[in-house]
């Protein structure tokens, strides 16, 4: 029998898979000649999936996976599952985790809307979500926390690209070029996170 921690681990894995699939499709939209859907971000991806075979089941998987990833980030921020230090760096990382949790909750809800058929048009999903958040009493605070979280995330990605901190999770038997690809990827994420945060 699978214990609860293992079940949650698979839930989080599904979240990583959902994020990977969304980013891969977003990259495809960006590289596709003449496609303006990439500028819509995840909304463009979800809109595209509605039009392809098996797109709706994939949207449900993405919605559930994004929700799992958000739960994982909330636990990381609030319950400190990584046992981060109580210093400024540890606190900033936890703020970044909570902000990531909030952002992925919105992504999960957007994927759910497309999967259930309650949303089927393109448009600027990011601005729409921001307007929805701002309509609540503490909406500005929530958006501020998300922005701060992405800025912190950008700094952390830049730090990993600089000091190769990500290599401690890579096998020593991995080819040498993995380091260069990882550094380029983390640097690119740093730029993207900083722009989103700003």
User: What pLDDT shows up at residue 2?
Assistant: 42
Using DSSP, how many helices (H) and how many strands (E) does the chain show? 7, 0
Least-confidence region, from 128-132, 145-149, 153-157: 128-132
Give the residue with greater pLDDT, 142 vs 190: 190
CB distance 157 to 187 below 8 Å: yes
pLDDT band of residue 159 (cuts 50, 70, 90) is confident
- For the chain, the average pLDDT equals 77
Following CA atoms 188, 151, 96, 172 in sequence, which dihedral angle do they give, to the nearest 10 degrees? 30
At 36-57, the pLDDT tens digits run 555 566 777 777 787 878 888 8
Give the residue with greater pLDDT, 137 vs 77: 77
- The number of angstroms, rounded, from the C-alpha of 163 to the middle of its chain's C-alpha atoms is 23
Q: Following DSSP, what letter does each residue of 145-182 receive, concatenated?
A: HHHHHHHHHHHHHHHHHHH-GGGGGS-TTS-THHHHHH
At 79-136, the pLDDT tens digits run 888 788 888 878 888 888 888 888 888 888 888 988 888 875 554 555 555 555 556 6
Once rounded to an integer, what is the mean pLDDT over residues 174-193? 83
At 21-39, the pLDDT tens digits run 887 776 776 666 455 555 5
User: What pLDDT shows up at residue 1?
Assistant: 38
- The winner for highest mean pLDDT among 13-17, 49-53, 66-70, 169-173 is 66-70
Percent of the chain with pLDDT over 70: 80
**Radius of gyration of the chain measured on its C-alpha atoms:** 18
């Amino acid at each position: 029998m699978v214990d609860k921690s293992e079940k949650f681990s698979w839930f989080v894995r599904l979240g990583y898979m959902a994020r990977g699939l969304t980013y891969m499709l977003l990259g495809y939209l960006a590289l596709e000649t003449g496609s303006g859907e990439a500028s819509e971000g995840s909304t463009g991806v979800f809109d595209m999936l509605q039009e392809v075979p098996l797109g709706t089941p994939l949207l449900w998987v993405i919605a559930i996976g994004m929700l799992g990833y958000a739960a994982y980030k909330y636990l990381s921020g609030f319950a400190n599952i990584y046992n981060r230090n109580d210093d400024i760096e540890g606190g900033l990382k936890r703020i970044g985790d909570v902000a990531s949790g909030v952002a992925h909750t919105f992504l999960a809800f957007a994927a759910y809307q497309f999967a259930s058929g309650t949303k089927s048009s393109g448009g600027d999903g990011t601005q729409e979500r921001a307007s929805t958040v701002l309509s609540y009493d503490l909406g500005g605070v929530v958006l501020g926390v998300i922005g701060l979280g992405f800025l912190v995330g950008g700094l952390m990605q830049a730090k990993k690209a600089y000091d190769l901190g990500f290599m401690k999770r890579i096998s020593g038997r991995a080819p040498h070029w993995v380091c260069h690809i990882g550094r380029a990827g983390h640097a690119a994420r740093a730029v993207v996170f900083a722009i989103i945060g700003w």
